[in-house]
């Protein structure tokens, strides 16, 4: 079995951001030499997410609005977690809803997506360095 592990590093300028990471993951799959297998993409921080969806700006705005309605950042006193001196209680909830990781089949040396599917890094407590694990396994 072949395998390759690499890390993508992000340092967003905004607190919340969605970044299309599909091309970076595709590059790692090519580098791995795996023709048939699986690719795991995992946010390694509890206030960030990896998810699959359409790369459409209106949808991204809808995500932002929906997530802020679901778990608004302010007032900070709303979250017990913030009593520890943190200000990111909302980010933990947003990450839970959007997901920790994705697994995509590798077929013929390429990510085997459905129509319009792309991989995104979702940042909910940014402005600092965070990592995403990409692990490719297969033959």
Q: What is the pTM of this model?
A: 0.96
Tell me what pLDDT residue 67 has: 98
Tell me what pLDDT residue 124 has: 98
The mean per-residue pLDDT over the stretch 65-92 comes to 97
How many whole angstroms separate alpha carbon 53 and alpha carbon 115?
10
pLDDT digits (tens, 9 = 90+) for 19-65: 999 999 999 999 999 999 999 999 999 999 999 999 999 999 999 99
- Written as six digits, the tokens of 18 are 């969605």
DSSP string, 34-70: -SEEEEEEEE-STTEEEEEE---HHHHHHHHHHHHHH
Q: In the sheet that 48-53 helps form, which strands lie side by side, from edge to edge?
A: 17-20, 118-123, 48-53
Tell me what pLDDT residue 73 has: 97
User: Where do the domains of the chain lie?
Assistant: 2-138
Tell me what pLDDT residue 41 has: 99
| Whether 123 contacts 19, CB under 8 Å | yes
Selected from 2.120.10.10, 2.60.120.460, 2.40.128.120, 3.30.499.10, the CATH number assigned to the domain covering 2-138 reads 2.60.120.460
pLDDT averaged over every residue in the chain = 97
Tell me what pLDDT residue 83 has: 96
């Amino acid at each position: 079995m072949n395998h390759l592990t690499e890390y993508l590093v992000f340092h967003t300028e905004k607190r919340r951001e969605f970044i299309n990471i599909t091309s970076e993951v595709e590059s790692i799959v090519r580098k791995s030499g795996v023709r048939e297998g699986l690719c795991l993409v995992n946010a390694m921080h509890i206030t960030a997410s990896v998810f699959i969806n359409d790369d459409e700006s209106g949808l991204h705005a809808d995500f932002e609005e929906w997530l802020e309605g679901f778990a608004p950042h302010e007032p900070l006193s709303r979250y017990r977690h913030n009593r520890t001196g943190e200000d990111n209680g909302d980010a933990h909830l947003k990450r839970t809803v959007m997901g920790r990781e994705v697994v995509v089949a590798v077929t013929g040396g390429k990510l085997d997506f459905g129509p319009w599917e792309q991989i995104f890094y979702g940042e909910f407590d940014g402005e600092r360095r965070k990592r995403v694990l990409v692990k490719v396994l297969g033959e």
